[in-house]
């Protein structure tokens, strides 16, 4: 670990200059993220049959652009993010409502908003802004406050409103991420254990009406298929079955770069997006898959240490919330392609082809890095309103 846990132990440092902040950026972590992104570019090169067109070149451009955004976010004063947390959340929620009313139909679901030729996916924005908003709400909460249900009503609405809007789009994957992020924030902020038990029971009770009135048929089919994919190998189970065949046939050392027969012969669906992990595991085998898992774990460890090392509650919540969100995406995607969880539209973070997802993630990593840069800054209850 190259994290400098021992530096800057001073009680309350004065204002940091931009130069100081840039100096504080953790370049090892930055390289690690760039490395995972590059693995993605390499896999997209293979997915196109050894061509940089049509995916690898664009992904590389997005990765570069995203890394710049990440660094920019990282050196921005953390109090800016604290102050505008609600505003950003509000904008995202507003856009979600707009999408619900007037969104373009894309991929059979309303997810995209086209503003002057630029496609925006408000649900992706919400993934980050919900962390900001909840961190802002809880950063000044005392542990005693967390025992009161009334104190948790507002964040409850803040979580459920966007989650339900996204679920209606319908985007089960993102809705789940929002819920998991929200619950994680409640947990980290110190909500009582009994609340989670009651909440869990509530969810179980809510399942029936959700199954009946909210979920679309294809979402239900995916859940049913998950239970027994081999029962219906030509229908919805086909994707899972083909993914397992491609992955399993990779063996220990894989078939070699560009040699994944199942992927290249199109037996593997969506090999450049949701099922890109399968292609990686087919071409590089168990060894390649474990290395990627290891790199992910390393990223999570960095995030965990950054959260623990941070001296302000806002940064801690934000950091750990994002770590959990990142973990959840990676876990669900990999578990999905191996037939452990149902197929939900969930990209493999930093690797799957997709511009919005890449930029969202790197924005999130920028916030994580920002927390690291400002790890010794103390933020009192009034910090949100003070001038940064």
Partner 1 sequence: MQRDTDQYYSFTRRSALLFGGQIVLLSGLAARMYYLQVIEADRYRMLAEDNRINFKLLAPRRGRIVDRFGRPMAINQQNYRVLLTPENTKDVEKTLDTLATIIPINDKERQKILRDIKRRRRFLPMIVRENLEWEKVARIEVNAPSLPGISIDVGESRYYPDGILTAPVLGYVSGVAETEQTGDPLLELPGFRIGKSGIEKTLDVPLRGRGGTSQVEVNAFGREIRELERVEGQPGAEARLTIDLELQKFVAERMGEDSSSAVVIDIHSGDILAMGSTPSFDPNAFNRGLTAEEWRTLSTNPRTPLNNKAIAGMYAPGSTFKMVVALAALERGLITPATRISCGGKVSLGDATFHCWKSKGGHGNLDLLGGIMNSCDLYFYEVARRVGIDRISQMAERFGLGMMLDIELPGEKKGLMPTRAWKKSHKGAAWTQGETMISGIGQGYMLVTPLQLAVMTARLSNGGRAVKPRLTNAVVAFDGTELPAPPQPEFEDLGISPSHLEVVLKGMAGVTNLPGGTAFKARIKDPAFAMAGKTGSVQVRRISKLERETRVLKNEELPWHERDHALFVGFAPVHEPRYACAVVVEHGGGGSTTAAPIARDILIEVQRRDQSPSTELNVPRRPEGEG
Both structure tokens of 72: 């920019």
CB 279 within 8 A of CB 299: no
> Residue 166 or residue 247: which is nearer to partner 1 going by CB?
247
Piece of the chain touching partner 1 by CB under 8 A; list 159-167, 170-178, 334-342, 360-368: 334-342
Options 3, 52, 164, 300; binder of partner 1; rule CB under 8 A: 300
- Tell whether residue 262 is a contact of partner 1 (CB under 8 A): yes
247 contributes a contact to partner 1 by CB under 8 A: yes
Q: Does 250 help bind partner 1 (rule: CB under 8 A)?
A: yes
Total residues in contact with partner 1, by rule CB under 8 A: 46
Q: How far apart are CA 59 and CA 41, in angstroms?
A: 6
Question: In the complex with partner 1, which residue's Cβ is closer, 198 or 340?
Answer: 340
Contact 162, 96 (CB under 8 A): yes
Is 265 a binder of partner 1 (CB under 8 A)?
A: yes
Can you tell me which of 235, 251, 256, 381 binds partner 1, judged by CB under 8 A? 251
- CB of residue 216 vs partner 1: minimum separation in angstroms? 26
Closest residue by Cα to residue 332 from 181, 167, 157: 181
Task: State the minimum distance, in angstroms, from the CB of residue 181 to partner 1.
Answer: 12
Tokens of residue 91, six digits? 């904008």
CA separation for the pair 352, 273 (Å, rounded): 5
- 61: tokens are 């451009």
Asked if 1 interacts with partner 1 (CB under 8 A), we say no
Among positions 249, 257, 295, 384, the unique one binding partner 1 when judged by CB under 8 A? 249
How many distinct helices (H) and strands (E) make up the chain?
Answer: 14, 3
The answer to whether the CB of 264 falls within 8 A of the CB of 282 is no
User: What number of other Cβ atoms are within 10 A of residue 220's Cβ?
Assistant: 12
Whether the bond into 320 is cis, omega within 30 of 0: no
Closest CA to 326 of 309, 311, 306: 306
Nearer to partner 1, 114 or 301 (CB): 301
Closest CB to partner 1 among 75 and 246? Answer: 246
Q: Dump the DSSP string for 134-150.
A: HHHHHTT--TTGGG-HH
- Minimum CB separation from partner 1 for residue 95, in Å? 30
When asked if residue 335 is in the footprint of partner 1 (CB under 8 A), the reply is: yes
Which residues fall within 8 angstroms of residue 159, CB to CB, at 6 or more apart? 130, 134, 178, 179, 181, 182, 183
Find tokens 């399993």 and name the residue: 248
Contact call for residue 143 and partner 1 (CB under 8 A): yes
Q: Which of 137, 296, 314, 322 binds partner 1 (CB under 8 A)?
A: 296
Q: In angstroms, what CA-CA distances link 292 with 40, 305, 367?
A: 11, 20, 23
Which part of the chain contacts partner 1 (CB under 8 A), choosing from 51-59, 169-177, 300-308, 353-361?
300-308
Distance in Å, CB of 384 to partner 1, minimum? 17
Question: Judged by CB, which is closer to partner 1: 23, or 196?
Answer: 196
Give the Cα separation of 335 and 333 in Å (integer). 6
Instruction: Report the site for partner 1 in 266-295 (rule: CB under 8 A).
Output: 266-267, 281, 285-286, 289-290, 293
248 binds partner 1 (CB under 8 A): yes
SS3 category, 105? strand
The residue among 184 and 356 lying less far from partner 1, judged by its C-beta, is 184
Binding site for partner 1 (CB under 8 A): 142-143, 184, 187-188, 190, 242, 244-252, 261-262, 265-267, 281, 285-286, 289-290, 293, 296-297, 300-301, 304, 307-308, 313, 316-317, 320, 323-324, 327, 331, 334-335, 338, 340
């Amino acid at each position: 670990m190259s994290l400098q846990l021992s530096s800057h132990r001073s009680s309350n440092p004065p204002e940091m200059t931009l130069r100081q902040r840039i100096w504080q950026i953790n370049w090892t972590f930055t390289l690690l993220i760039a490395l995972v992104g590059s693995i993605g570019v390499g896999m997209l090169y293979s997915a196109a049959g050894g061509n940089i067109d049509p995916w690898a070149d664009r992904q590389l451009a997005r990765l570069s652009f995203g890394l710049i955004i990440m660094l920019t976010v990282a050196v921005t004063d953390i109090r800016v993010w604290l102050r505008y947390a609600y505003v950003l959340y509000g904008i995202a929620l507003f856009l979600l409502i707009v999408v619900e009313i007037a969104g373009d139909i894309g991929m059979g679901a309303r997810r995209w908003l086209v503003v002057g030729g630029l496609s925006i996916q408000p649900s992706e924005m919400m993934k980050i802004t919900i962390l900001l908003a909840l961190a802002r709400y809880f950063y000044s909460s005392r542990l005693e406050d967390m025992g009161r249900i009334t104190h948790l009503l507002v964040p409850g609405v803040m979580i459920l409103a966007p989650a339900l809007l996204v679920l209606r789009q319908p985007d089960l994957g993102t809705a789940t991420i929002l819920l998991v992020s929200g619950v994680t924030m409640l947990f980290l902020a110190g909500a009582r254990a009994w609340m989670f038990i009651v909440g869990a029971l509530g969810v179980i009770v809510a399942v029936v009406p959700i199954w009946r009135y909210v979920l679309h048929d294809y979402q239900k089919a995916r859940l049913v298929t998950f239970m027994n994919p081999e029962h219906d190998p030509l229908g919805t189970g086909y994707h899972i079955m083909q993914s397992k065949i491609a992955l399993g046939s990779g063996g220990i050392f894989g078939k070699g770069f560009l040699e994944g027969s199942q992927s290249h012969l199109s037996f593997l669906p969506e090999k450049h997006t949701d099922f890109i992990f399968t292609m990686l595991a087919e071409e590089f085998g168990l060894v390649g898959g474990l290395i990627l898992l290891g790199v992910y774990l390393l990223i999570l460890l960095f995030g965990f240490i950054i959260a623990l090392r941070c001296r302000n509650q806002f940064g801690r919540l934000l950091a750990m919330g994002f770590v959990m969100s990142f973990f959840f995406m990676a876990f669900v995607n990999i578990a999905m392609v191996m037939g452990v969880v149902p197929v939900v539209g969930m990209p493999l973070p930093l690797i799957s082809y997709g511009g919005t997802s890449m930029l969202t993630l790197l924005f999130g990593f920028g916030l994580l890095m920002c927390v690291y840069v400002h790890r010794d800054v103390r933020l009192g209850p009034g910090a949100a309103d003070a001038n940064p």
